[in-house]
């Protein structure tokens, strides 16, 4: 008994020691496995980092190519011949942006469903309907031999990198996360399709026609006209007698480019600069993301010495400078997309009426592969004018009625933008540059130019249809009547052009670029004039301008819209305040210097109030899916307020109780919302608490990936959609649109350019060039890129 009592405690102890021993062994094994896995994952991720030093042997090169990566990650590519240059550009760009390139060609081609699944099906159908890739195929057929050779050399360079990825098992992790285990070879057609997509991104117009068409079919004529961008003098065409096509059935699901896609640019003559030479500035406004839309490079060979930016996937430099000239663009925004009402045969959905006869439209079958389900054979109908877009989300014949909407668009024609681009990369003066522009048709752009010889010049360039009656561009036109077919275009020599003006500067900011005497119609919808008026104010008021002044102007936060409207608001609101918070808000607005600074409260009050005014004006009357097509809403709202303030009676103001009531209600609702969000002490409110910059990665929406792809939280940021420092935010305040690239070039030293690419050059989150320019972009700290003297890490590409 005693022995048993003595032995009982001993047995559990031995058992416990044994259990502890095995537990420790298992934990040790797990630790080794986890550490090994982390080491493998880390090694795998790092394997796809761009190589910036050493030597790489590549099949397809004729001679050795030197690539110097400067301290900001800009590759300076030096080749002994032109084709090796573009081969190397393809390879080097792929090293930094291969996943972006893959997504870009898939988006433009309507092939995202193949990897992402059914959620992308409607978007793919839309791009298959438009036919950007079909338009690129037509363009490929008319290119000259030199351009085709450049396209092929670039594609060969990209494919050399794709093959290297496969051989070394170094495909970036993003491919695996997106469900891509392999990548098809790159082709010249892919590059041209991406080019067509950029024309799409900058060519929106039909949606405003659809919106006007909706108004005419749901409101009295005069009520509808109040929201038109221009009052139709001749009234609507006979389309109003036709069966109504429900624009909400399909068109509200279309991919509509951001209406704020635009830019600033200006050129200042040496007469107004400290250096005595012209200075050119450009900052295109597109979506802000990680990686940037823009990729900066310097290309040097016997026929090229050019620096600037390009879209990843396209050869050459689209914006920048060489050692003689500099150039930049803003969007003209002309009416290059025209909707047509088409009469379809009641018994055959592929036949349409034209001048009293029925013709057979083209039927194109597009096979869309969808991840996780069977492929879809999708039919596209192309009329005389262009593809039928009013049924893309539902299918041919699925929408009731025998009337449909098609779209005519100049970018769907065969065009040769790459040839033009290569020519102005080599241009040495305005005459050569303008000659090159004749081949640049879509998108239509305001080209700004400056040269070492002292010339400054401007041309609103592109293929712009001639409208005999400008009112026709406000609404869809009758597709059955040949007199409405747009088959003539503004002659190249008659496009708006300015060379060496007396005021010694030229500027554009997507504003109206023509006067009343210009003989051709270009557009009814221009950007709000505030960015342009601030640029003109700044340049007019100063002489002895420097590159630093131009950088300062690009970062300018002056709000000319507020300067115009705050006095009106103050006049209407007066001292009538229903609360202490409202009284304090009025005081803040009255004392505001109209700078949209991130530390101030007044910009928050002003911009939120404008949004509340728009909500009160349109929210109850217009469905959300229709408002998405209301391009130029801001311009329209401005005009309604100004016209009403001047005494004009307007339905949209009157239904809100008149201007005084509209502004009073909107102000009170704004202050209440802001008080709920930011507290009762208005002195603690800051524009930057709401308005914040965030360069979101495509995959950062997956929660656990955000800490890798977007390690830093959103940061307070100034400016707004109407300041020269363009910074448009979403409803949640996140700034997702602005100048992803800023550029200044003083032609006194044409070999030097000042740039910022936000947030950086590389798409690889482990790269030192991933978001290395983010803080500089926020603060306006530019880096100098030279094309005659540069240093950094050297990579040699050898045959």
Kindly list the catalytic residues. Answer: 263
- Which one-letter DSSP state was computed for residue 429? S
One-character DSSP codes across 205-222:
-HHHHHHHHHHHHHS-HH
Strand stretches in 369-421, DSSP E: 376-382, 403-409
Q: In whole angstroms, what is the distance from residue 172 CA to residue 760 CA?
A: 18
- b/e sequence 173-200, b meaning 16+ C-beta within 10 Å: bbbeebebeebeebbbbbbbbbbbbbbb
Please enumerate in sequence order all residues whose Cβ is within 8 A of that of 357, keeping only pairs 6 or more positions apart, or say none. none
| Nearest one of 678, 775, 682, 780 to 733, comparing CA atoms | 678
Asked whether the beta carbons of 263 and 328 are under 8 A apart, the reply is yes
Cα distances (Å, whole numbers) of residue 58 to 62, 150, 229: 10, 17, 56
335 is in an annotated binding site: yes
- Helices 132-142 and 82-109, packing angle to 10 deg: 150
Asked whether the beta carbons of 384 and 228 are under 8 A apart, the reply is no
Q: In whole angstroms, what is the distance from residue 180 CA to residue 498 CA?
A: 49
3 state SS for 450-470:
EECCCCEEEEEECCCECCCCH
Strand stretches in 132-213, DSSP E: none
**CA–centroid distance for 445 within its chain:** 14
Q: In whole angstroms, what is the distance from residue 527 CA to residue 263 CA?
A: 10
Give the end-to-end CA distance of the chain in Å, rounded to a whole number: 90
- Specify burial of residue 683 (Cβ count, 10 A radius: 0-12, 13-18, 19+): exposed
Please name every residue paired with 287 in a beta bridge, in sequence order, or none if there are none.
737
Neighbours of 274 (CB within 10 A): 16
Residue 257 in tokens? 């480019």
| Nearest one of 99, 116, 117, 240 to 178, comparing CA atoms | 116
Q: In whole angstroms, what is the distance from residue 450 CA to residue 275 CA?
A: 14
* Binding positions: 335
* Binding positions for Ca(2+): 335
């Amino acid at each position: 008994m005693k022995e048993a009592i003595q032995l009982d405690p001993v047995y559990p102890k031995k058992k416990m020691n044994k259990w502890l021993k095995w537990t420790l062994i298992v934990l040790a094994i797990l630790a080794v496995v986890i550490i090994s896995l982390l080491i493998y994952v880390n090694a795998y991720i790092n394997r796809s980092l761009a190589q910036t030093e050493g030597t790489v042997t590549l099949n397809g090169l004729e001679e050795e190519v030197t690539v110097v990566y400067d301290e900001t990650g800009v590759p300076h590519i030096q080749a002994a011949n032109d084709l090796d240059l573009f081969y190397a550009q393809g390879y080097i760009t792929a090293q930094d942006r291969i996943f972006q390139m893959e997504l870009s060609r898939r988006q433009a081609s309507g092939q995202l469903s193949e990897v992402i699944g059914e959620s992308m099906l409607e978007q793919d159908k839309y791009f298959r309907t438009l036919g950007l890739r079909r338009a690129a195929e037509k363009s490929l057929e008319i290119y000259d031999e030199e351009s085709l050779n450049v396209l092929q050399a670039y594609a060969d360079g990209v494919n050399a990198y794709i093959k290297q990825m496969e051989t070394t098992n170094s495909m970036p992790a993003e491919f695996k996360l997106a469900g891509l285990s392999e990548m098809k070879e790159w082709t010249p057609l892919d590059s041209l399709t991406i080019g067509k997509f950029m024309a799409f991104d900058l060519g929106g117009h039909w949606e405003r026609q659809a919106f006007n068409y909706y108004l005419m079919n749901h409101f009295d004529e005069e009520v509808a006209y109040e929201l038109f961008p221009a009052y139709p003098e001749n009234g609507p065409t006979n389309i109003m007698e036709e069966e109504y096509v429900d624009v909400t059935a399909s068109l509200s699901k279309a991919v509509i480019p951001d209406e704020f896609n635009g830019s600033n640019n200006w050129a200042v003559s040496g007469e107004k600069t400290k250096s005595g030479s012209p200075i050119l500035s450009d900052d295109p406004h597109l979506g802000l993301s990680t990686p940037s839309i823009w990729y900066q490079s310097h290309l040097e060979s016997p026929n090229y010495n050019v620096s600037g930016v390009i879209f990843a996937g396209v050869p050459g430099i689209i914006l920048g400078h060489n050692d003689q000239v500099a150039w930049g663009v803003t969007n003209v925004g002309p009416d290059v997309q025209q909707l047509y009402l088409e009469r379809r045969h009641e018994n055959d959905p592929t036949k349409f009426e034209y001048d009293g006869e029925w013709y057979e439209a083209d039927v194109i079958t597009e096979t869309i592969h969808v991840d996780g389900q069977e492929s879809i054979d999708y039919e596209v109908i192309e009329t005389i004018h262009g593809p039928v877009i009013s049924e893309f989300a539902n299918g041919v014949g699925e929408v009731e009625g025998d009337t449909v909407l098609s779209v005519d668009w100049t970018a769907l024609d065969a065009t040769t933008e790459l040839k033009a681009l290569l020519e102005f990369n080599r241009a040495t003066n305005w005459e050569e540059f303008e000659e090159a522009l004749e081949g640049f048709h879509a998108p239509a752009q305001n080209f700004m130019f400056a040269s070492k010889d002292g010339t400054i010049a401007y041309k609103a360039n592109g293929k712009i249809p001639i409208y005999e009656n400008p009112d026709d561009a406000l609404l869809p036109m009758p597709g059955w009547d040949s007199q409405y077919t747009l088959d003539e275009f503004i002659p190249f020599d008659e496009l708006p052009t300015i060379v060496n003006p007396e005021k010694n500067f030229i500027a554009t900011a997507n504003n109206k670029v023509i006067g009343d005497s210009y003989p051709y119609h270009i557009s009814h919808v221009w950007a709000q004039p505030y960015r342009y008026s601030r640029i003109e104010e700044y340049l007019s008021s100063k002489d002895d301008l420097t590159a630093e002044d131009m950088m300062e102007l690009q970062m300018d936060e002056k709000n000319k819209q507020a300067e115009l409207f705050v006095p009106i608001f103050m006049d209407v609101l007066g001292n009538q305040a229903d609360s202490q918070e409202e009284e304090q808000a009025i005081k803040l607005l009255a004392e505001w210097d109209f700078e949209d600074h991130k530390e101030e409260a007044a910009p928050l009050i002003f911009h939120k109030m404008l949004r509340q005014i728009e909500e009160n004006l349109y929210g109850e009357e217009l469905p959300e899916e229709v408002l998405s097509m209301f391009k130029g809403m801001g311009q329209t709202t401005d005009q309604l307020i100004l016209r009403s303030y001047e005494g004009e009676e307007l339905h949209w103001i009157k239904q809100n109780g008149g201007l005084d009531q509209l502004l009073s209600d909107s102000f009170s609702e704004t202050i209440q919302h802001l008080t709920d969000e930011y507290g009762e002490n208005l002195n603690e409110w800051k524009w930057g608490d709401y308005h914040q910059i965030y360069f979101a990665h495509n995959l950062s929406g997956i929660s656990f990936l955000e800490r890798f792809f977007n390690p830093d939280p959103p940061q307070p940021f100034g400016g707004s959609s109407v300041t020269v420092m363009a910074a448009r935010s979403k409803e949640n305040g996140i700034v997702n649109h602005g100048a992803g690239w800023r550029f200044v070039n003083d032609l006194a030293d044409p070999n030097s350019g000042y740039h910022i690419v936000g947030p950086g050059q590389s798409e690889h989150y482990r790269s030192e060039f991933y978001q290395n320019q983010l803080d500089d972009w926020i603060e306006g700290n530019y880096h100098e890129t030279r094309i005659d003297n540069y240093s950094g890490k050297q990579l040699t590409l050898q045959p």
